[in-house]
Structure 1
Amino acid sequence: MLLGCAPRSATMISSTVPPEALRQNDFLDDFGKGLPSGPSVQGTVEGLVEGDLTAETASQIAVLNNPHLKSVYEEIGIARADLVQAELLKNPIFDGEVKVTEMGEDAVLEMVLKQDFLDFSLIPLKKRMAQAELERTRLKVAGEILSTIASTKRAFYSLQASKQELEMMKQVQEALEASFQMGEQIHKAGNLTDLDLMNQKALFEQSKIDMEAAELAVLENRQNLNRQLGFAENDIAW
């Protein structure tokens, strides 16, 4: 008779993606020891936010806090639970029967334990299938992590570029404003034509439009990066 029964439970991830797929990002090397969860993740994210945000720290925050990745991580826990379940036998079946002899002797209670041996013979196959599914899931998670890291870095650098462009536009606008004000004075003195003054004014007005566009680009890029980091679009915590 064979006995083998255990409850099935889907746990949070205690394993991780293949480390060789993640070595281009040093901070992911520790994932082989298990993914953090709960308060430890929140504390890590808060610590990273308090420092200077870089492309690397932004990637770390996204890997830990991005809601899409959080749901993907759970797939590893489910696949691992399936692997554990594949190694277990189904619960045995107990049958009981009371027999009374013809001679009026004491009744006899017979208990029979039944186990499905076909299920036992299929364990190696089910285990291999579950292992293959776990490996497939781990590779999928690795791809999702690397994709999130790449998109987070793109969002970070786009924000940095838009900030630099905004700063440049401020300098251009200040220069054009000063030029226009000086042009007005020269025009009053009769040393600048109406057309030249109008051209300077047009350039100054265009610079204000360009400035507004640059400010909007910074806002949009900041919101996009916030989404990548797992924060609300308008929750500017960094």
Structure 2
Amino acid sequence: MTRAFHTSQPILQSSIRRFSLLAGVGLLLGGCASFSADGGVGTVQTIAYTELNKDVVKITDDGVAGSAKARVDQLLKKPLTADSAVQIALLNNRGLQAAFNELGIAEAQMVIASLPPNPRFALSSRTGTLSLEIERQVVGSIFALATLPARADAARDRFQSAQLRAAEAVLKLAADTRRQYFRAVAANAQAAFYLEAKASTDAATQLFKRLGESGGINKLDQAREFAFDAELGAQLAQARLQQRQERERLVRLLGIWGDDLKFRLPGSLPPLPGLPSIKAVEAEALRKRIDIQIARGDLDLLAKTLGLTQ
């Protein structure tokens, strides 16, 4: 056994030199990717600022978390608007931070895929000659090096797709928050309307009751008024329940709790803005839809992956 290792040592050294040369060539062809300073969130921040004019941050340490919390507290001191609600959600929503963490995992996978494989040499006497076992291991490493540029390119495409998915999560959260904000404000306005109507019917009910006692109104009209007041009371209770539900849904999107739950909403909806034509809205939607860009990127990635496997 000792003699076999001694006679095969020149082959081992030659294989190591050959692998080192191929590794250098693989590095030149594929190029090693490195971690970005922002964890890949820069693209997401650019899209968010361009489309929403809002800031997006990834909470990486206590300093960033403290700055985001201070800005959220400042926005909560004033009555919420649709824009401030969206900004709070983008800074404070835990689900969005989870999407950013998944983006960091995708970047790590991209970096790993761009690295050349580590050489592995196993010495074993079970397969006959030692040189045959060494050559088998080197051939496997050569194949990994030969496919390194294609694998690194596919990994970069996966990372870019992950960036678009994170941007899609940002845009979806912003749209959901804006929609829920208007629903919560509408629920407030509806509850206020029923409360005002109930106050009027309460006064009318007392008047009808006194008229009925004095004989100035018949029992049928009096019963109708009492029934209308009771029905309006049930509608007011339903409106208050809807008001609490819509506010709670908004709270979940904003990601707030504790003393932050004391935020104020306006009592009425703002006036409707001027709307563009339907054709302009459709063209804008097709041009800026992130999901279409993701689907196109996934299709290109699938084509590259199929070419690699064959």
Q: TM-score range with shorter-chain normalisation?
A: 0.7 to 0.9
Residue in 2 that maps onto 1:159: 184
2:164 to 118, 139, 149: 139
Aligned letter for 2:73?
A: E
Quote the offset at 1:10 in angstroms. 11
* Contact persistence 1:163–1:218 (CA under 8 A): yes
Quote the offset at 1:214 in angstroms. 0.9
1:186 to 211, 214, 223: 211
* Contact persistence 1:11–1:78 (CA under 8 A): no
Quote the offset at 1:232 in angstroms. 4.9
Distance 1:203 1:167, change over 3 A: same
* Contact persistence 2:59–2:97 (CA under 8 A): no
1:57 to 79, 84, 105: 84
Residue in 2 that maps onto 1:176: 201
Distance 1:22 1:151, change over 3 A: same
Aligned equivalents of 2:39, 2:108: Cα separation in 1: 10
Would you say 1:196 and 2:203 are equivalent positions?
no
- Higher relative strand content: 1
Task: After superposing the two structures, state which structure 1 stretch, 34-43 or 208-217, moved more.
Answer: 34-43
Aligned equivalents of 2:207, 2:230: Cα separation in 1: 15
Aligned letter for 1:25?
A: L
Residue in 2 that maps onto 1:15: 41
Q: How many residues are paired up?
A: 214
Query: For residues 206-225 of structure 1, what are the alpha-carbon distances to aligned partners after superposition, in whole Å with 9 as ceiling and x for unaligned?
Result: 12111111111111011111
Quote the offset at 1:192 in angstroms. 0.7
Residue in 1 that maps onto 2:243: 218
* Contact persistence 2:48–2:170 (CA under 8 A): no
RMSD: 3.2
Which segments of 5 or more consecutive residues in structure 2 lack a partner in the other structure?
Answer: 1-19, 123-137, 264-310
Aligned letter for 2:246?
A: N
Quote the offset at 1:162 in angstroms. 0.6
Aligned letter for 2:218?
A: T
Distance 1:14 1:49, change over 3 A: farther
Distance 1:235 1:15, change over 3 A: closer
Task: After superposing the two structures, state which structure 1 stretch, 219-228 or 201-210, moved more.
Answer: 201-210
Aligned letter for 1:89?
A: P
* Contact persistence 1:180–1:204 (CA under 8 A): yes
* Contact persistence 1:223–1:234 (CA under 8 A): no
Quote the offset at 1:196 in angstroms. 0.7
* Contact persistence 1:17–1:141 (CA under 8 A): no
Query: For residues 112-164 of structure 1, what are the alpha-carbon distances to aligned partners after superposition, in whole Å with 9 as ceiling and x for unaligned?
Result: xx9x4544443321221111001111111122211111111121111100100
TM-score (norm 2): 0.60
Task: After superposing the two structures, state which structure 1 stretch, 37-46 or 184-193, moved more.
Answer: 37-46
* Contact persistence 2:96–2:169 (CA under 8 A): yes
1:66 to 87, 93, 109: 93
TM-score (norm 1): 0.76
Aligned letter for 1:61?
A: I
Is the partner of 1:27 in helix, strand or coil? coil
Residue in 1 that maps onto 2:107: 80
Paired-residue identity, %: 23
Aligned equivalents of 2:90, 2:116: Cα separation in 1: 37
Residue in 2 that maps onto 1:149: 174
Aligned equivalents of 1:9, 1:25: Cα separation in 2: 27
